[in-house]
Amino acid sequence: MIKLYILERKSWIAFILFTHIVILFIAYVDSSIPLQSYLYIVFLVTIFFSLFVIFRYFKETKFYKQLSETEISNLIEEVQPTSSFEKIVKEKLEEQEVQLKSLITKQKSMLEQEQDELLSWVHEVKTPLTSLHLLIERIEDTQLKSQLTYEWLRVHLLLDQQIHQKRITFIENDLFMEKVNLQQTIHQEIKFLQSWCFQKGIGFDLDLKEADVISDGKWLGFIIRQLLTNAVKYSRHDDIFIKSDLYDGHIRLIISDKGQGIDVKDLPRIFEKGFTSTTNHQNHQSTGMGLYLTKKAADSLHINVKVRSKVEAGTTVVLTFPKRNEFTLIRSK
């Protein structure tokens, strides 16, 4: 503290010392001025100045110490509650925060458990559903067989959608990017829907100029299945056109139907969860989940989805796949 005090007033001390030296130098040079008298005066002034500095040191440092203690106490008061009421509020907030964290952890655990149980139930249901399909295949009555196959297919598609709805939250952990043959995947999905297509008199017109894409086979199959299901569901005795081409370095898969179409005002909302058509709002077959899940899965695969539609004229869905040199972006995430 003494060193700091002297350093802060070094200009004053230097000025006094310089003044004394100048006076003594003048007295030494000028013989008419008595040097001993000036030495005595300088000595007295130096003593008085030293006493003054010591006095001011004790007085000022006491003030600075009180000021520092006040600042520290004010800082402590700002950090800590200044009243018992604030202490109670702080304790309650901390208690509620702990309870909230515990509740969130518990709810998360319950949701994960419910999801596991639901997936387990769906897989268990698929076993008797497969057996039921084998029994339906043995039915000789063609009309009855067709009707039962259609109802079986509806249940199967709903279960499949439910499984993927639960898995899509963790889709990033489930992706396996590889070369996927579009023709093979599309034929597999068409074959799955063939009984429904026969019943409605719907055919397919394929023109696949580009056969292979880099994607996840399982999730790409799910996307195509949802789009073909929608196309078959809303078409009436017309062919569904499926083609692939190369546009601006990107492979595109285009699925077009001549079904009932989508109203222009509904197009911005078709990918929203649970949204169903406002023009056909009484259609209980629509769950509003198919296109929502399609968009979620497509985004994870970096596939751009665009829909063009007109009421009573049909719908066209364009899937644009990433370029091959963009594949590294998918693998790095």
- pTM above the 0.85 mark? no
Give me the CATH topology for the region 98-174.
Helix Hairpins (1.10.287)
Asked if the model's pLDDT at residue 16 lies above 90, the reply is: no
Residue with tokens 């899965």: 297
| 17 — pLDDT class (breaks 50, 70, 90) | confident
Interval 277-320: pLDDT, tens: 766 655 556 677 889 999 999 999 999 999 999 998 899 999 99
Q: Give CA 263 to chain center in angstroms.
A: 31
For the chain, the distance separating the N- and C-terminal CA atoms, rounded to the nearest angstrom, is: 59
Ramachandran angles phi, psi of 316, nearest 5°: -125, 125
3-state secondary structure of 97: helix
Interval 216-251: pLDDT, tens: 999 999 999 999 999 998 888 788 999 999 998 899
User: Which one is predicted more confidently, 263 or 37?
Assistant: 263
Interval 60-88: pLDDT, tens: 776 566 655 555 555 555 545 445 667 77
CA nearest 303: which of 207, 190, 171, 191? 171
Interval 164-198: pLDDT, tens: 887 888 788 888 888 999 999 999 999 989 888 88
Burial code (b: 16+ CB inside 10 Å, e: under 16) for 67-83 equals: eeeeeeeeeeeeeeeee
Interval 88-115: pLDDT, tens: 777 888 888 888 888 888 887 887 777 6
- The secondary structure of 233-300, three-state, reads HCCCCCCEEEEEEEECCEEEEEEEECCCCCCHHHHHHCCCCCCCCCCCCCCCCCCCCHHHHHHHHHHH
Q: Which CATH number fits domain 178-331: 3.30.160.100, 2.40.160.20, 3.30.565.10, 3.90.420.10?
A: 3.30.565.10
3-state secondary structure of 100: helix
| 329 — pLDDT class (breaks 50, 70, 90) | low
Let me know: does 198 contact 250? Beta carbons within 8 Å. Answer: no
